[in-house]
Amino acid sequence: MKLMRWGEPGAERPGLVDADGQLRDLSAHVPALDGAALAPAMLDRLRALDPAQLPLLPPGTRLGVPWGGMGKFLCVGLNYADHAAEAGMPLPAEPVLFMKPPSCTIGARDAVWLPRGSVKTDWEVELGVVIGRVARDVDEARAMACVAGYCVVNDLSEREFQLERGGTWDKGKGCDTFGPVGPWLVTADEVPDPQDLTLWLDVNGEPMQRGSTRTMVFGVAHLVSYISRFMTLYPGDLLSTGTPPGVGMGRKPQPVYLKAGDHLRLGIAGLGEQSLHVQARPPG
């Protein structure tokens, strides 16, 4: 099942994508797609609906972040062996964790705004893991039962802010619009093996990132279990699991960064695509 939210920012309503790729309105059956709606019993109830009986949405309908009420937006750094090699950094002995504020999230077709003073804004296509059950110090055998589904994430990063301005990574990761999510949340039953998905990203039609979740250093089950030792994961929390090689910072012979007017297309097999235009932030 592919779940999504549609409508204007701040007023998104629940929906789903039918087998023919058409957008359908779920508003009559669930008041909101949030953490509570991601519980197994609620997902089973939605799965039992006949999509053909749901109202169609018009072409061009805006898609927001696929669910609301995201409490935590957790990210894993250097989690692809080939990306660590690209960055010239050793493989981590344990997952490298940081957070992006949920306020940075946008829909899969919204505009990306370059922050004031940006000179090194970069891209990162990543597999997102959406929590559907409370996970508190769970072992790996139980970790996957806590996953509601998966989505495409673009972990946009301003590298100068992140690496050259002193302190933690967060200031380069949490800028407004630096967290495109979606276009939809694909429930876990439709993703039999999250460790066998292809990822890709193009800038202005030029291939940049090509990778597979097979090269993750730490897989999804390990990450959910590991993180749940340090903090409780709640329904609606998002875990972004790292990026494959091909980021702008690692381009040879010299790095390439985003500028106003650029167009990003990215996706993950079976999870949909994002189409994002980069714009300069207006004054004020």
For residue range 55-77, what is the model confidence (pLDDT) as tens digits? 999 999 999 999 999 999 999 99
> pLDDT category, 89, cuts 50, 70, 90?
confident
| Spatial contact of 6 and 13, defined as CB atoms under 8 Å apart | yes
Q: What is the pLDDT of residue 284?
A: 64
Q: What pTM value is reported for the model?
A: 0.96
Residues 164, 166, 171, 173: is their CA dihedral positive or negative?
positive
Retrieve residue 111's tokens. Answer: 């505009």
Residues in the chain: 284
SS3 state of residue 241: coil
Q: What is the pLDDT of residue 85?
A: 81
- What is the pLDDT averaged over residues 139-162? 97
Q: Report yes or no on 121 lying in a domain.
A: yes
Q: Report yes or no on 82 lying in a domain.
A: yes
Q: Report yes or no on 30 lying in a domain.
A: no
Q: What is the pLDDT of residue 84?
A: 80
pLDDT tens digits, residue range 7-45?
999 999 999 999 999 999 999 999 999 999 999 999 999
> pLDDT category, 283, cuts 50, 70, 90?
low
d(CA 262, CA 276): 8
pLDDT tens digits, residue range 217-262?
999 999 999 999 999 999 999 999 999 999 999 998 999 999 999 9
Retrieve residue 163's tokens. Answer: 């690496």
pLDDT greater than 80 at residue 167:
no
Q: Report yes or no on 204 lying in a domain.
A: yes
Q: Report yes or no on 224 lying in a domain.
A: yes
| Spatial contact of 162 and 173, defined as CB atoms under 8 Å apart | yes
Q: Which domain holds residue 260?
A: 68-280
Q: Report yes or no on 88 lying in a domain.
A: yes
Q: Report yes or no on 202 lying in a domain.
A: yes
Q: Report yes or no on 11 lying in a domain.
A: no
* Lowest-pLDDT choice from 31-40, 112-121, 167-176, 191-200: 167-176
| Spatial contact of 42 and 30, defined as CB atoms under 8 Å apart | yes
Q: How many structural domains comprise the chain?
A: 1
CATH number reported for the structural domain that contains residue 142 in this entry: 3.90.850.10
